């Protein structure tokens, strides 16, 4: 009676283990900090071996940063789907907002994860690494929208960089305010500041 008998059976078991691992990791890392908890402990708490942990996550950081997976692709798609007639500031604001909204959706857990990331150097580094990737991807889309050569033109990378600076700043403020401040308001605030630069130039 399963609507999807094939392929879901094994995959749901897999998802189950992954969830268990994530749950255990987040619980342990929340108290004690990132360095104080070993992978062995996380695996033991989830009832699997260390080896199995690494079959699910590429690194210890990945357990925490995993929820960012696909965010880059989502942003790129969102930006690509915005009408080309839209000014860059509007298109990018929607792009960033999509990510913020996806992050800040289930407020409680996500907030603590974000605080953990921003407060742990090793995690922050991974996070920043991802952002750097996203910047390249977004820059490519921006360049395409405007018909610019991303290799020679400065604008695409700068625009993508500014948008991600806004993204990061919103997350910071949100995290530091313990979820008090409204992400939507923060996002709009950021984009009113950077919009003049985003919309001023266009071509050359």
**Would you tell me which residues interact with a copy of itself (CB under 8 A)?**
121, 124-126, 128-129, 131-132, 151, 154-155, 157-158, 161-162, 165-166, 168-169, 172-173, 176, 186, 189-190, 192-198, 200-201
- Of the candidates 31, 22, 36, the residue with the CA atom closest to the CA atom of residue 65: 22
Shortest distance, position 6 Cβ to DNA, whole Å: 8
- Which token pair is 192? 């009113």
- Report the residue number, 56 or 127, with the smaller CB distance to a copy of itself: 127
Shortest distance, position 39 Cβ to DNA, whole Å: 4
Place of tokens 């199995």: 52
Helix ranges restricted to H, the chain: 8-30, 39-46, 50-56, 60-65, 71-81, 88-103, 107-119, 121-146, 155-176, 183-200
- Report the residue number, 42 or 156, with the smaller CB distance to a copy of itself: 156
For 17-55, b/e burial (b = at least 16 CB within 10 A) is bbeebbebbbebbeeeebeebeeeebbebbebeeeebee
Rule CB under 7 A: is residue 12 a binding residue for DNA? no
Shortest distance, position 103 Cβ to DNA, whole Å: 23
Candidates 45-53, 70-78, 151-159, 189-197; binding stretch for DNA (CB under 7 A): 45-53
Rule CB under 7 A: is residue 58 a binding residue for DNA? yes
- The answer to whether the beta carbons of residues 123 and 62 sit under 8 Å apart is no
Shortest distance, position 52 Cβ to a copy of itself, whole Å: 24
Rule CB under 7 A: is residue 52 a binding residue for DNA? yes
Residues that bind DNA (CB under 7 A): 9-10, 13-14, 17, 37-40, 47-52, 54-56, 58-61
């Amino acid at each position: 009676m399963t609507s999807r008998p094939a392929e879901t059976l094994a995959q749901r078991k897999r998802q189950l283990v992954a969830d268990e691992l994530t749950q255990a990791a987040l619980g342990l890392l929340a108290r004690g900090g990132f360095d104080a908890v070993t992978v062995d402990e996380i695996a033991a708490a989830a009832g699997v071996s260390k080896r199995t942990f690494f079959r699910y996550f590429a690194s210890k950081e990945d357990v925490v940063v995993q929820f960012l997976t696909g965010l880059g692709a989502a942003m790129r798609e969102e930006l690509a789907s915005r009408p080309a007639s839209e000014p860059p500031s509007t298109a990018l604001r929607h792009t960033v907002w999509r990510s913020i909204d996806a992050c800040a959706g289930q407020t409680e857990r996500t907030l603590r994860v974000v605080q953990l990331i921003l407060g742990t150097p090793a995690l922050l580094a991974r996070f920043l690494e991802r952002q750097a990737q996203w910047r390249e991807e977004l820059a490519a889309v921006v360049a395409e929208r405007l018909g610019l050569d991303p290799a020679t033109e400065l604008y695409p990378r700068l625009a993508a960089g500014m948008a991600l600076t806004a993204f990061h700043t919103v997350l910071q403020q949100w995290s530091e305010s313990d979820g008090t401040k409204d992400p939507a308001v923060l996002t709009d605030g950021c984009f009113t500041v950077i919009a003049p630069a985003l919309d001023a130039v266009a071509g050359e």
